[in-house]
Structure 1
Amino acid sequence: MTKALAMMSGGLDSTLAAKLVKDQGIEVIAICFKSYFFNEKNAERMTKQIDIPLEVVDFSKEHLEMVKDPKHGYGKNMNPCIDCHAMMMKYSGELLKKYDADFIITGEVLNQRPMSQNKSALNLVKKESGFKEKILRPLCAKNLEPTSMELEGLIDREKLLGISGRSRKIQMELAEKWDIKDYPSAAGGCKLTEPNYSKRLRDLLENKKNPTENDMELLRWGRHFRNSDKCKVISSRTKDEGDIITSLLTKDDYIFLADKYKGSLVAIIGDPSKEDIELAAKITGRYSKGRNEESIKIKYGNFNTDLNDFIEIKPASDDIINKYII
């Protein structure tokens, strides 16, 4: 029986591509990649809807190294889509033997994304992967040259599609036809496409050559501020967010709380100077119930210790917030 590995992002296109191939009587196994910037949650939900098994590949560390210096550069934000897709295809190609599979399928659509899914980019990704003869794009196959899988009869080209462009009309019609529901938006899933997250990531990589897993996770939470290359200030926006941030701190980090007012939990990650501590205290005051006071007391200290140090400050003004926020 013919078998295919479906690169499954968890979006609608990759789900439809897998379903289209499965309906030809081909066994399909979904492969989802997990990194610091995206996870398998959507893929888990979508593969259940089309009843195919899912294998998750965690390539976080290798992916981060590529993101630091992608061969083909970034998209609008910190998204190195060409290098990322090629990397996933390479991993998938190396899994063909493990799963005794014949080829790889992806949900890419010709010209859906002007920079990373034009014909030149699609061909480049195939070439960079090292497995270009094993890659099939079922949703736009009729707009591309026939693959060896089609020519050899492993799959019927006439039952594949010729979608092109940015319209989602055909995909949404197929989703309704196949009763595929609750799918994420086309832009969702990858943190690297988000402008604010990309600014934080760029700042982190510029100031810390080898970030830890906690550093990477902290990028998702709170408001981030930078005064020096030795440390960063993070302010929680909700209690739940504060709990998540504290779960990622170490004994070397600092926390700040307004002494007599409810408000944000503020943390310093790194080695702070006196000026950094003063800035963190001002930010703590700003995001507390005492924000309009001329002077309030802030308590602080190393994480998981009694907060026995105090500093009197005036809460940060808009100018200070705007100057240091990332």
Structure 2
Amino acid sequence: MAKALALMSGGLDSVLAAKIIADQGIEVTGLCFKSAFFGSKNAERMAAQIDIPLMVVDFTDEHLEMTKQPKHGYGKNMNPCIDCHAMMLNYAGKIMEEQGYDFLITGEVLNQRPMSQNYKALQTVKEESGYENKILRPLSALNLQPTEMELSGMVDRNRLLGFNGKTRKPQMALAEKLGIVEYPSPAGGCSLTEPNFAGRLKDLYEHDKENTDRSDIDLLRVGRHFRLTDKAKAISTRNEEEYKALWERITDDMLIFDTADYSGSTVALKASGGHEPTADEIQSAAAIAARYSKAREEEEVLVKYKKPKDEKYEHIRVKPAEDRELANLML
């Protein structure tokens, strides 16, 4: 029996592609990649729904480095989809060879995304993956050149599809026909496509790309972010949940600010690698803490701050930051 490895993002397209091939009597195993920008939960649910096993590979370090300078650039936000797909297929191809699979499956649909899934982009991904002759795209196969798997009879080309364009109606109809009833919206999954997250990531890469690691990426999802200077930014929590999330991501070099006599937001001052916060940066972070506290209407507020391992707090009196000022700083 032929064996295929199906790349599964957790979306509808990839599970349909896997199911179409599995229904031809081919043994299909799902393969999901996770990194700092996307996880595996949706893929786990979708693989279970069509009853196929799933492998999960964490390639955070390599993927993070690629996003800093992708060969083919970014999409609408900070998503380097062409480079990302090629990287995944290269990884998948190595696993295919090591574990005795015959070919790879992806759920890509021709022209669904104008920049990363046009004909030229799909060809680029195949070529740069290093496994050009082993990649099958079942949902758009009838609009593409036959692969060696189809020409050899391993896969029945007549049972493949010719989806083309942005509309998802054909996929939804096929899902109903195949009994796939639960699937995520097409917008979910990758943080790199989310405008708010992408804006924060772009700012991070512009100011401290070389030192950015997984913890910096995780921190982008917490609280309000303010770019104070080229060397420093502040993160302000909005609730108890974000406070806990911030403390899980605190590093020893950060300064932590709280109002001394009132409840309110905890603010972290994070500097670029090796930079020691200036008096002006400290004052700005303290003013943010004062603004998002019960003392926001006061003329002057006492704010305490220290590094996580320091025993004693320093104190500073500041005027709460004005909303107009913060609007210009907010990421």
Which residue of structure 2 lines up, in the alignment, with residue 298 of structure 1? Answer: 303
1:66-145 pair list within 5 angstroms: 66-145=66-145
Q: Deviations over 1:8-35 (max 9, x none)?
A: 1010100111111111111111111111
The residue matched to 1:97 in structure 2 has which SS? helix
Letter in 1 for 2:324: D
The alpha-carbon deviation at position 121 of structure 1 amounts to 1.0
Structure 1: give runs of 5+ residues left out of the alignment: none
Which residue of structure 1 lines up, in the alignment, with residue 246 of structure 2? Answer: 245
Letter in 2 for 1:292: E
Q: Verify: 1:309 aligned to 2:310, yes or no.
A: no
Letter in 1 for 2:280: E
Between the aligned residues of both structures, percent identity stands at: 57
1:155-166 pair list within 5 angstroms: 155-166=155-166
Q: Verify: 1:272 aligned to 2:277, yes or no.
A: yes
Which residue of structure 2 lines up, in the alignment, with residue 281 of structure 1? Answer: 286
Would you say the 8 A contact 1:256–1:265 is kept in 2? yes
Which residue of structure 2 lines up, in the alignment, with residue 153 of structure 1? Answer: 153
The residue matched to 2:97 in structure 1 has which SS? coil
* Greater CA drift, 208-217 or 93-102: 208-217
Cα distance 1:23–1:222, how it changes in 2: closer, same or farther (>3 A)? same
The alpha-carbon deviation at position 305 of structure 1 amounts to 4.0
Which residue of structure 1 lines up, in the alignment, with residue 194 of structure 2? Answer: 194
* Greater CA drift, 243-252 or 135-144: 243-252
Letter in 2 for 1:244: A
Which residue of structure 1 lines up, in the alignment, with residue 205 of structure 2? Answer: 205
Q: Verify: 1:217 aligned to 2:218, yes or no.
A: yes
The residue matched to 2:99 in structure 1 has which SS? coil
In the alignment, the residues of structure 2 paired with residue 165 and residue 204 of structure 1 have an alpha-carbon distance, to the nearest angstrom, of 34
In the alignment, the residues of structure 2 paired with residue 111 and residue 215 of structure 1 have an alpha-carbon distance, to the nearest angstrom, of 34
Which residue of structure 1 lines up, in the alignment, with residue 185 of structure 2? Answer: 185
Letter in 1 for 2:291: R
Would you say the 8 A contact 1:37–1:191 is kept in 2? yes
Which residue of structure 1 lines up, in the alignment, with residue 176 of structure 2? Answer: 176
Would you say the 8 A contact 1:299–1:307 is kept in 2? no
Q: Deviations over 1:130-158 (max 9, x none)?
A: 11100000011111111110010111111
The alpha-carbon deviation at position 69 of structure 1 amounts to 1.0
The residue matched to 1:233 in structure 2 has which SS? strand
Which residue of structure 2 lines up, in the alignment, with residue 5 of structure 1? Answer: 5
In the alignment, the residues of structure 2 paired with residue 157 and residue 231 of structure 1 have an alpha-carbon distance, to the nearest angstrom, of 56
In the alignment, the residues of structure 1 paired with residue 277 and residue 40 of structure 2 have an alpha-carbon distance, to the nearest angstrom, of 36
**TM-score, length basis structure 2:** 0.95
Q: Deviations over 1:165-193 (max 9, x none)?
A: 11111111122222323311112111111
In the alignment, the residues of structure 2 paired with residue 206 and residue 272 of structure 1 have an alpha-carbon distance, to the nearest angstrom, of 18
The residue matched to 2:98 in structure 1 has which SS? coil
Which residue of structure 2 lines up, in the alignment, with residue 323 of structure 1? Answer: 328
* CA-based RMSD: 1.3
The residue matched to 1:48 in structure 2 has which SS? helix
In the alignment, the residues of structure 2 paired with residue 236 and residue 169 of structure 1 have an alpha-carbon distance, to the nearest angstrom, of 41
The residue matched to 1:311 in structure 2 has which SS? strand
In the alignment, the residues of structure 2 paired with residue 158 and residue 292 of structure 1 have an alpha-carbon distance, to the nearest angstrom, of 71
In the alignment, the residues of structure 2 paired with residue 321 and residue 307 of structure 1 have an alpha-carbon distance, to the nearest angstrom, of 29
In the alignment, the residues of structure 2 paired with residue 4 and residue 80 of structure 1 have an alpha-carbon distance, to the nearest angstrom, of 26
1:35-50 pair list within 5 angstroms: 35-50=35-50
Cα distance 1:307–1:50, how it changes in 2: closer, same or farther (>3 A)? farther
Structure 2: give runs of 5+ residues left out of the alignment: none
